[in-house]
Amino acid sequence: MDERKYAQVVVERPVRNGGVFTYAVPPALVETVVPGVRVAVPLGAQVVTGFVLDVSADCPPGIKTREIIRVLEGKPIPAALLTLAGWLSSRYLCTLLDALAAVSGPAPKGGRRRETEWLWPRGDAGEILAAIEELKAPAQARALSVLAAQPGMTRQALMREAGVSASVVAALIRKGLVISEKVSRRREPYEDVALDPTPPPLLTPEQEGAFSEIDKAIAAGRPEIFFLHGVTGSGKTEVYLRAVAAALSAGRQAIVLVPEIALAHQMVLQFKARFGNQVAVTHSALVPAERHDAWERVRAGEAGVVLGARSAVFAPTARLGLIVVDEEHEPAYKQEQSPRYHAREVALARARLEGAVAVLGSATPALESVARCLSGRYRQLRLSSRVDGRPMPAVRVVDLREEFRAGTVSLFSNFLVARVREKIRQREQVLLFLNRKGFAAFVLCQACGHVIRCPNCDIALSYHRPDTLFCHYCYYRARYRPRCPRCGDERLGWFGAGTQRVEEEARALFPEARIARMDAETTARRGSHAALLDAFKRGEIDILIGTQMIAKGLDVPGVTLVGVLNADTTLLLPDFRAAERTFQLLYQVAGRAGRGPLPGEVVIQSHCPEHYAVRYSARQDFFSFARRELALRQRFGYPPYAALVRVVFSGETEEKVVREATAFGAAAREIVGGEEVLGPAPCPFGKLKGFYRWHIILKGKSGRAVRDACREVLTSFLCRRGSGVRLSVDVDPVSIL
């Protein structure tokens, strides 16, 4: 009898049939070849690596098997995550290999542990000043004075800020005026934050009610899904903290997901203060080797809590008891490369596989989640009021059409200017929000707020030179005329402004205020987002101007006024979620006001004040918004009443891209029965990095139906060789750009 073992191996090489082969396990490797390990195997004339999926005594009949060569370094992928990879590949139509790569976590040798160099000026302030004066070379003097103002810069930062070459810095070090310090950043970035183990606050009755339900499920080991729907400032974080503590005391581990770890500064501090070194933060600043270390702490059970962005959902916890998904509606949970998974969906699949409790939280739930609450799949827990009975902010909408007619050219309406002045006089803080997720090619009438939409899809039409308007979903086309079809104004078309212009205008309007701007540029240059936030929280800044970065999560009690300069840009995105995104943003940003003892107020400037997304966000009325939006989704056949798969074709020659997309569309129309095929149409970002992009949208009644249909088309359709056209598949796309 053949005692040999055989392993199913997915090879790391794109192979047509999915790339799973059977290999014999040589006797010497019987102990180490287990499911989830990486191995080297022969393939044709080459040696390739792969993952072992399964080991058994079954030898496939009639096939001559070759032997596994060796087992590679690294811990095997845990069984639960292997199963999850299988789920990922069928749910997101990606290769098993891509799915395995996602769940396998950082490779042990993925780059060296970081060593960063810091530079310090030598001596006290007087000595440094004297040295600057004595230096003959102006470039050296400039570099030293820049460093004196910001000690601890890296060499690159200093060169950039002072505008000097590497030799200038080297000369300063040689002269002993600058000290170079190598810092090994093996440590976790949050390791040395001052831990202030404040005792947990007494829960409010609503928090208590929500927590006790979660607590019961954890104690009973009952894998329920909870949806914590709490208004802004209602204390959702405290409920997560208690739930995590409950999981830990039940001897289980917890994963807490946030949309972007860099924007979750305040939350990280709270978790560190409560759980100390039991928390592993998977920060985007970590190099792979550091992430690997964090993963090992989790695997070994040293870290009971993992806090991180979407990829933390694959943390190798051995005893998972709880997964929390904060701000579950955030599009950042969607991975935009293969596997194009949504971390919320993965979290739910994983919780189900491992018998863990899931808690999803938001003040503005995704419409998909609303539908699941209604169907009973999620158990809803409500926090309907703010902590300490603080009132929700009062919101006033300013009609920009009237300002336009009155000839206002400023980004600030007269009303907003007056409110900001008043707050500055009272020494309160102001947040100014610029909704920049704009899309240049939209068409809006500045006089009446009219937007031209596709009659089939209800999507804002895009303008294309010289005189075309078209729909990015179904490719409906119409002639563009500068004359507004509603009010007859001749100036149809409008383009947004940047944060810099807002800052300039604000400085001119409010000269006595201390103003700071927070966007990608300023947070890259002046150190960190966190430092700016801390300064704002300490009251060192009167007016903070920012984009989407400041809209969420911010908890600064001194803010009593939030001004939204342009409510509408997200409304004009060619996306069926445009209204939802706008509502969420406005509601969330309004929620930053009045989180302290003083009540908050909000001013929203809009060209379409009668739009339901603007109106309901101004009333902070989520349920009315959801009802209205769900009705529209049902009418036009969008999620949660239908499922979408988007297939993008890209290549350097537009003609070929269109040809392949058209051929795919034809194949899809033949194969799919009840499903709808939209397009091909140009993607809203029709050209990215020199690649032309067109897409086709498959629409179906259920996710399974549309995925099956797409899978079938994909097995019969291959882009022509030599066409140079790439095809990528996005199941449940969150953005159609």
Ligand X SMILES: Nc1ncnc2c1ncn2[C@@H]1O[C@H](COP(=O)(O)OP(=O)(O)OP(=O)(O)O)[C@@H](O)[C@H]1O
Q: Which residues are annotated as a binding site for Zn(2+)?
A: 445, 448, 454, 457, 471, 474, 484, 487
Q: How near is the Cβ of 727 to Zn ion at its closest, in Å?
A: 22
Nearer to ligand X, 43 or 363 (CB): 363
Residue positions forming the annotated binding site: 445, 448, 454, 457, 471, 474, 484, 487
Query: Considering beta carbons, is residue 475 or 641 the nearer one to Zn ion?
Result: 475
Indicate whether 455 belongs to the interface with ligand X (CB under 6 A): no
Q: Which does 235 bind (CB under 5 to 8 A by kind): Zn ion, ligand X, none?
A: ligand X
CB 612, min distance to ligand X, A: 22
Determine the length of the chain. Answer: 737
Taking alpha carbons only, the member of 193, 282, 37 closest to residue 530 is 193
Mask 585-624, x = binds ligand X (CB under 6 A)? Answer: ------x---------------------------------
- Partner that binds at residue 233, options Zn ion, ligand X, none, CB closer than 5 to 8 Å by kind: ligand X
Q: Please list, in sequence order, all residues whose beta carbon lies within 8 angstroms of the beta carbon of residue 63, skipping any fewer than 6 positions away.
A: 22
Residues numbered 156 to 215 that lie near ligand X (CB under 6 A) are 201-204, 207
Stretch that binds ligand X, among 25-33, 232-240, 400-408, 678-686 (CB under 6 A): 232-240
Q: Which range, of 42-50, 225-233, 292-300, 538-546, touches ligand X by CB under 6 A?
A: 225-233
Tell me if 232 contacts ligand X by CB under 6 A.
Answer: yes
Q: Which does 238 bind (CB under 5 to 8 A by kind): ligand X, Zn ion, none?
A: ligand X
Stretch that binds Zn ion, among 96-104, 485-493, 536-544, 618-626 (CB under 5 A): 485-493
* Contact status: 730 vs ligand X (CB under 6 A): no
Omega of the bond leading into 339 within 30 degrees of 0 (cis) = yes
Least spacing, CB of residue 650 vs Zn ion, in Å: 21
Q: In angstroms, give the least distance from the CB of 231 to ligand X.
A: 7
* CB 544 to ligand X: min, Å: 16
Burial letters 233-271, b for 16+ CB under 10 A, else e: bbbbbbbbbbbbbbbbebebbbbbbbbbbbbbbbbbbbb
Work out which of 188, 206, 238, 660 binds ligand X, going by CB under 6 A. Answer: 238
Options 237, 522, 523, 650; binder of ligand X; rule CB under 6 A: 237
Binds 591: which of Zn ion, ligand X, none (CB < 5-8 Å by kind): ligand X
The entry of Zn ion, ligand X, none near residue 474 (CB within 5 to 8 angstroms by kind) is Zn ion
237 vs 523, which CB is nearer to ligand X? Answer: 237
Classified as helix, coil or strand, 252 is: coil
Tokens of 290: 């550091």
CB 217, min distance to ligand X, A? 20
DSSP per-residue string spanning 644-679 = EEEEEEEES-HHHHHHHHHHHHHHHHHH-SS-EEEE
Residues 485-544 that bind ligand X (CB under 6 A): none
Q: Which is nearer to ligand X, 497 or 598 (CB)?
A: 598
Kindly calculate the radius of gyration of the chain based on its CA atoms and give it in whole angstroms. 28
Q: Answer whether 206's CB lies under 8 Å from 386's CB.
A: no
- CA 448 to chain centroid, in Å, comes to 34
What is the enclosing helix (H) or strand (E) of 145? helix 138-149
Phi/psi at 544 (5° precision): -110, 125
User: Is 194 strand, coil or helix?
Assistant: coil
Q: Which is nearer to ligand X, 102 or 281 (by Cβ)?
A: 281
At 223, give phi and psi (nearest 5°).
Answer: -75, 75
Binding partner selected for residue 476 from ligand X, Zn ion, none, CB under the kind-specific 5 to 8 Å limit: Zn ion
Only one of the segments 178-186, 210-218, 481-489, 562-570 lies at the binding site for Zn ion (rule: CB under 5 A); that segment is 481-489
Ranges within 433-462 binding Zn ion (CB under 5 A): 445, 447-448, 450, 454, 456-457
Q: Taking CB under 6 A as the rule, does residue 555 contact ligand X?
A: yes
Binding partner selected for residue 499 from ligand X, Zn ion, none, CB under the kind-specific 5 to 8 Å limit: none
CB of 389 to ligand X, least distance (A): 11
What is the CA angle 233-237-243, rounded to 5? 145
Q: Write each residue from 370 to 399 as x if it is in contact with ligand X (CB under 6 A), else as -, in one continuous string.
A: -----------------x------------
Residue 384, class by beta-carbon neighbours within 10 Å (0-12 exposed, 13-18 middle, 19+ buried)? exposed
For residues 478 and 426, what is the distance between their CA atoms, to the nearest angstrom?
A: 52
CB of 477 to Zn ion, least distance (A): 10
Distance CA 144, CA 368 (A): 56
Instruction: List 571's β-bridge partners, or say none.
Output: none
Separation CA 16–CA 180 (nearest Å): 53
Backbone angles phi, psi at 112, to 5 degrees: -75, 160
CB nearer to Zn ion: pick between 504 and 676 = 676
DSSP letters, 532-560, are: HHHHHHTT--SEEEESGGGTSS---TTEE
- Of 308, 382, 380, give the one whose Cα is nearest residue 347: 308
**C-beta separation of 384 from 256 below 8 A:** no
| Residue 670 in tokens | 């033949």
Tell me the torsion sign for CA atoms 280, 286, 287, 288: positive
Distance of CA 669 to the CA centre of its chain: 34
Work out which of 50, 76, 230, 700 binds ligand X, going by CB under 6 A: 230
Say whether residue 484 binds Zn ion (CB under 5 A).
yes
* Residue closer to Zn ion, measured from CB, 39 or 448: 448
Phi, psi for residue 574 in degrees, rounded to 5:
-75, 75
DSSP class of 387: G
Shorter beta-carbon distance to Zn ion: residue 348 or 484: 484
> DSSP strand E in 177-265: where?
178-184, 225-230, 253-257
Smallest distance from ligand X to CB 526, Å = 25
Q: Quickly tell me which residue has 């902590």 as its tokens.
A: 387
Residues of this chain that interact with ligand X (CB under 6 A) are 201-204, 207, 230, 232-238, 363, 387, 553, 555, 591
Residues of this chain that interact with Zn ion (CB under 5 A) are 445, 447-448, 450, 454, 456-457, 471, 473-474, 476, 484, 486-487, 489
